[in-house]
Amino acid sequence: MVFSISTTTVIGAVSRKRASTRTVQDGFTLAELLVVVTTIAILASILLPALSKAKATTKRASCTSNLRQVGLAIRMYADDHRDSSPSLPQPNPFGGKVQVFYKELVKGYVGLIGLSSANDKVFACPADAVYHKEPGQDFSSYRFNGPDYGYFLANVRSPAKAVLVGELTAFIGNSWHAPQIQNLSNALNTVTFVDGHVSYVRIFREGSNEPRWSEPPASYDYQWLWSR
């Protein structure tokens, strides 16, 4: 009979249940804590490298997009200047080389007006934490490859190999995107070529010279000289 259960029996059952619940909860909490901590550590070790790789890929994609636009800006400048690459006015109002101050000549083609600043995102590689903030670099991560007096783009013999503009690190032998190999030959850098394509290329380095002073062997995908 259902109604024959005594009060003592019910209280006893509830107490046992409480005791048993408390025991299970105490054990569960400790074990679960260890499991959770271990699981988080394992997940972190799996996910963090993947996340940092994804972040690096995003930065490189953004840099490629920037350099494509800067290359187009130089091309548009040339279209307006009888096919000449950026050429410093004489007297030179910038007090420096065209490799840096080409930006003053072409930035209007990507919608930048007024004084240069670190906010000029098209000229800032997201992996560069230093140079695009420097007035001495005209707030640019990218350097133009050419003489102060310009050259005719149509005369370039190997437009798919001749560097038009590239990350500053390509010229000096470092890499913002693959810093583990900086200061060695084959530093990886993003550059725009005279034909307009953008590529992530290995940069040749001869001894301790900065790469810009050496033409690479034919096996490399770029060259500095536009006249070869």
* Site residues, Zn ion (CB under 5 A): 63, 125, 127
Q: Which residues of 189-209 are buried (b: 16+ CB within 10 A; e: fewer)?
A: bbbbbbeeebbbbbbbbeeee
Q: Return the bridge partners of 188, or none.
A: 202
State the minimum distance, in angstroms, from the CB of residue 131 to Zn ion.
Answer: 10
Q: Which is nearer to Zn ion, 151 or 176 (by Cβ)?
A: 176
Cα 123 from Cα 71, distance rounded (Å): 11
Q: Which is nearer to Zn ion, 87 or 137 (by Cβ)?
A: 137
State the minimum distance, in angstroms, from the CB of residue 174 to Zn ion.
Answer: 11
Q: Which is nearer to Zn ion, 41 or 181 (by Cβ)?
A: 181
Cα 101 from Cα 84, distance rounded (Å): 15
Quote the distance between the C-alpha of residue 14 and its chain's center: 64
Q: Which is nearer to Zn ion, 63 or 156 (by Cβ)?
A: 63
Q: Is 202 helix (H, G, I), strand (E, B) or coil?
A: strand
State the minimum distance, in angstroms, from the CB of residue 125 to Zn ion.
Answer: 3
| 176 φ, ψ (degrees, to nearest 5) | -80, -30
State the minimum distance, in angstroms, from the CB of residue 127 to Zn ion.
Answer: 5
